[in-house]
Structure 1
């Protein structure tokens, strides 16, 4: 009897030992796989299809303009600086930003944040007194993104007055800056004669629902640029538009360049039309 039991046990061991080894190998494979880390290469900085620029205000604090050159792989060519808001607010960093950005060789323009707390006439007077027209390379921008205190009709009436005043002073229609939600609610099918500066973040170029074309795209508000503390808005001119259309009086006179301007590492590659 013992002899038969011994034979049976030997046969069982022979039958089941390969499966036991396979299970051991399987579990061992799982452990090795769990410790394996897949290395994903970081995405290279994208090249923006269009001339790149930034817009700044006191929110960026004191900017070291000597260090401002690129965003990712994109040379910065133009700068819009906040000048005023409403009827009384003047950006505390405006004069310094305009002076140093121009010394660096950037094309510079100014923008006004349009408020629904004060009349168009008062707001234009604030903008006119703050901005020296002779220092501007770019057409002014009107930032319109709120309608808290007016009806839509009152908004359009006052906005048009402000736009007309700017055009009368500068000889060109200003650029309208806004966001898709505000554009769709208040500006769609209006202001077709004005260039649109649209703030839209994420993948894909902006598409306006009325078929109107955008001229400048603010494609991120979280840009990180040497010389600027914290985030900054980064913009690109629509490559399908004539870049010279946002110039106020043509290109600056290069014969009057100062030594500092000649040392600027990123001259603006816009040719006069």
Structure 2
């Protein structure tokens, strides 16, 4: 016997699935969370740099010229003050070249009108045939100022290393109380391998060492140091440039740390590079030629 089809109740519908619940941290809640985290981070930074901010707002805010109104300059001033306050037991110095123009050495004494400057590195030469236009004057004035002084050579990777060393030697006479000579290497070669570059650097350093009877110092950026020089030139001491706002600790293998390129020193037009010697004043004197 054939079964009759069962009629469905037209008023009954198939139950629908409930909609998925949104994650708790989404939409407005997520934005609120991120906003709170940012505010907390901002207050943390302000608290950490409170001394630098107090210095800047209390001493410098009324002295900023039109050319110094950029936020980066303000932030740099705060960081500079904070770092130099942290390393009051170490020695602070600066470095100059012809790009600073004519310096009034009679006024040069403090960085940010607060921290005593005790040493200076002065660019002497670049490449195989360039002499810094202000070297002779700066070199003589630094001695009159009774600053511990050092001379550096800007190395050009694509020029002959011995000719570059000879250029420095004929330009710079080092004496008792001067810092060891400095090789400044920042560029990679265009037409030679890294191995060839390293051989050239070694020849330059050996020539300088033989002439002055003192082992040179190498200046470079931290990344350049880590990538190309740290292993094969570990028998040398290093002067490292790192301007990272959040780096506040000088590393053990940095003899000098150039932590800013935008400080203010009375008597020097424009921005100035500032350096920290990783030691005491007595240790800095031990480093000099005697």
Query: Fold match, TM over 0.5?
Result: yes
Q: What pairs with 1:243-254 in structure 2 (closer than 5 Å)?
A: 243-249=284-290
Which residue does 1:43 correspond to in 2? 54
Contact 1:109-1:136 within 8 A present in 2 as well? no
Alignment partner of 1:200 is 2:211: no
Q: Which runs of 5+ in 1 are unaligned?
A: 1-39, 250-273
1:177 to 219, 227, 236: 219
For 2:122 and 2:198, the matched residues in 1 are separated by 25
Q: Which moved more, 1:117-126 or 1:235-244?
A: 235-244
2:166 to 88, 110, 125: 125
Number of aligned residues: 206
Alignment partner of 1:226 is 2:266: yes
Q: Which moved more, 1:72-81 or 1:92-101?
A: 72-81
Contact 1:87-1:124 within 8 A present in 2 as well? yes
Contact 2:239-2:257 within 8 A present in 1 as well? yes
For 1:106 and 1:93, the matched residues in 2 are separated by 17
Alignment partner of 1:115 is 2:156: yes
Equivalent position SS for 1:214: coil
Residue 194 of structure 1 deviates from its aligned partner by: 0.9
Contact 2:124-2:131 within 8 A present in 1 as well? yes
Residue 243 of structure 1 deviates from its aligned partner by: 2.3
Q: Which moved more, 1:40-49 or 1:99-108?
A: 40-49
Contact 1:48-1:74 within 8 A present in 2 as well? no
Q: What pairs with 1:61-140 in structure 2 (closer than 5 Å)?
A: 61-72=101-112, 73-134=114-175, 137-140=178-181
What is the CA deviation profile of residues 166-223 of structure 1, one whole-angstrom value per residue up to 9, with x for unaligned ones?
Answer: 111111110010001211221131211211100011232244xxxx711000011001
For 1:76 and 1:133, the matched residues in 2 are separated by 21
For 1:48 and 1:160, the matched residues in 2 are separated by 36
For 1:143 and 1:117, the matched residues in 2 are separated by 14
What is the CA deviation profile of residues 105-139 of structure 1, one whole-angstrom value per residue up to 9, with x for unaligned ones?
Answer: 11111000111121111001110111122386111
For 1:184 and 1:132, the matched residues in 2 are separated by 31
Which residue does 2:193 correspond to in 1? 151
What is the CA deviation profile of residues 24-62 of structure 1, one whole-angstrom value per residue up to 9, with x for unaligned ones?
Answer: xxxxxxxxxxxxxxxx99333332511010100011000
Contact 1:200-1:206 within 8 A present in 2 as well? no
Alignment partner of 1:58 is 2:102: no
Which residue does 1:165 correspond to in 2? 207
Alignment partner of 1:236 is 2:276: yes
Contact 1:65-1:101 within 8 A present in 2 as well? yes
For 1:148 and 1:68, the matched residues in 2 are separated by 37
For 1:180 and 1:239, the matched residues in 2 are separated by 19
For 1:147 and 1:136, the matched residues in 2 are separated by 33
Measured on the aligned residues, the alpha-carbon RMSD in Å equals 2.0
For 1:112 and 1:125, the matched residues in 2 are separated by 11
